Chain A
């Protein structure tokens, strides 16, 4: 190509466990809009500054359609999937088609709708932790908790049998593997859609009074003909994949960050109102969709004084934007107290993550429960031995061995779903119970309280008008 630059560094660059490739910082400081060489030999613009990344992601003159000439592909496996899998899901569509497809789903993922999932999510978190604790004093947290929770949540929301999780988890991982043979993601996608196709047939044959999202899509989009069967399949597959793989990795990495920063973990236990902020910082710090977002210019556009020509590829790196020191002072420091809400981990513009409220809700329930239940949680292996998944489109950790102090017989337990926020328990046993700053619901400050608190807890149990507190001993 005539506009190619000599010595454009190769992309992708190697990242570190807890930060994007160090080259990003250097490029941002020296030449924030500069060219890189993609694996197929073509060149694309690499954007590393927060403002530039946001400008491109928010500008409809940049397309996400991989069929458009010049679209930058980060690996042959990804290229094969994006080019040949049909029909394209909404993340590969531009407005106005994108708008049409997205609008069908917007309501499903609004805060109010998602909030209705809270009791189910809390119950699932409690049950998974119960199971972990019952089994012993160590586990692979990535597999047994971090992946299990969002899988159960999205399966419940969509109406996909949770028993089939291994099947769709494996296919999702194969689809996201950037280093696989180019046939692998395509095949995994085909198998996934075939599986979902059978599920749709079953649901249509036995409509009952199902209230899951797939049944609603069938009723409101497929049957009236707004979407073809193939389009419905593509949409469901996207939701199923997007719904578990990303949140799973955020839970695992977020947990790891807190374990490696014990003072911050303790601060979070002492003051659960920090959770909201902590989640935003986890999202920013890890930016797990670390290859987002490839775009191609549909016309000549100037970005930060640099002319990007029609047909040129752009890598608007959200992982780099979230480490821009102009926007996040001391960006490589994990700090749950920092102001991180303006991060772009969910991307920006029309393709901003549809499921972000659900992700935030899951994370907030996890991080208001996990360390309260298991304050002694710690890594079972040295950090250096952990294996990170750098080769996937979604960054994460393959296995996270954790351990905790062996189970003590608990003095009491709390049925969170019944709490009405009366605050009577706080009055009776202020060292053991607190009220959530936002919704007034009960927070257990001390899961294993000293004996001198037992009488107060008994009193709290007796006073609770919803009978949420049970004395187990």
Chain B
């Protein structure tokens, strides 16, 4: 059978990195990058941070120019939504009926924002923050707005809230859970960020949901909480979490469970189809059961791992996850995955805005959340990667240099850690 090369569905960071790594690894076959967004591949993290704040323009968000892809012999199919995978004949079909054959297919379809229930109409004051168009639209509106309501106190919502508050807008964040970044973050770190946001002027309504939402005047929205509090605003940002784009895989009969399920080599049950990035669900030594990770690190490392596997250097994906969030100048860095943690100790002083929380599950260190403590974070990444045992008492003792617990002090290689 002729080699039809590799088709990558999606144009996000994982997809972009993968095609670059494939060429770096010497892959000489056809590479096709297919996605429904009309833009060249771009960076998402700055959308809610530097870009929203006006610190950079759209141009600096694009990873590469069109010429770059040409030079590397990577076919771009932008604005082309893939609607079907034919596994038997090995091709994907786009909404316009174009068929692209593949020898290997990579799904890097990402995730999309969940919609606020009952809000299907495109109101002018309602913004979903996910893609470049959303962000550009929102940044423009932010200029004219005075009051904003953010629904959902996750990373994205909070990053946006901090930008808006710093611009002097009245910001109200409504969150169903009892704390900030509830599912992802320990209580002391959530509390520190709450203090930080409140100092910036952000108001929080926690443990409540929207009972009603309407448009009292054109261009204005009115929110009523479950308790009956009424808030009017010029902008409503919905950031109540995301869902993975699994429909394509599901329709093709591939196993999906909150993500496209892949093995340690990032392969679906079809040996000719892999999945990476935000859409992939996998098990690792850092997770309890299947996990799905939305991060730059995961996109990068999975792309690199898969590129090697596809070029003959087969190796399982085994990188310690790490994340960061920048909320109004305060940096949060997280190493590991905290789900199932049953113990939390603090290094430093949790009353300040510079400390780390060490999370343990059954006595084993599983995650470290650092607030303006990059050295703790870096040590944690290495400790988790090396699988070093850390005792809670050691973690909270500032006299113990945690780095010294590492087996060998290996210098940072020219590889991201």
Measured CB to CB, the residues of A under 8 A from B are 110-113, 115-116, 118-119, 273, 418, 420-424, 426-427, 430, 434-441, 461-463, 465-467
Contact = CB atoms under 8 A, between A and B. Distances in A.
A424 B412 CA distance: 13
Nearest to A431: B414
Contact of A439 (B60, B64, B378): B378
A116 B354 CA distance: 6
A424 B355 contact: no
Given A112-B355, A422-B297, A465-B43, 6 more contacts: A115-B354, A116-B353, A422-B416, A426-B414, A440-B377, A466-B49
8 contacts: A112-B352, A119-B329, A422-B296, A426-B415, A426-B416, A427-B415, A439-B375, A466-B45
Contact of A466 (B46, B329, B354, B381): B46
B324 interface: yes
A297 B49 CA distance: 61
Given A421-B374, A462-B63, A462-B64, A427 B352 contact: no
Interface of B: 43, 45-46, 49-50, 55-56, 60, 62-64, 296-297, 300, 324, 326, 329, 331, 333, 348-349, 352-355, 372-375, 377-379, 381, 398, 403, 411-412, 414-417
Given A420-B331, A423-B417, A465-B296, A439 B374 contact: yes
Contacts of B63: 462-463
Nearest to B63: A462
A420 B324 contact: yes
Given A112-B349, A113-B352, A466 B375 contact: no
A463 B326 CA distance: 17
A423 B62 CA distance: 19
B55 to A, nearest CB: 8
Residue of A111, A273, A421, A439 contacting most chain B CB atoms (<10 Å) = A421
B300 A424 contact: yes
Contacts of B378: 421, 436, 438-440
B329 to A, nearest CB: 8
Contact of A427 (B43, B331, B379, B414): B414
3 nearest A-B pairs in the assembled complex, by CB-CB distance: A423-B416, A439-B374, A440-B378
Contacts of A423: 412, 415-417
B359 to A, nearest CB: 19
Given A421-B333, A430-B414, A116 B62 contact: no
A465 B14 CA distance: 13
Contacts of B333: 420-421
A110 B349 contact: yes
A118 B381 CA distance: 21
Given A440-B381, A440-B412, A440-B417, A115 B373 contact: yes
Q: Which of A111, A427, A466 has the most CB of B within 10 A?
A: A466
A115 B374 CA distance: 10
A461 B50 CA distance: 14
A115 B46 CA distance: 26
Contact of B60 (A116, A436, A467): A467
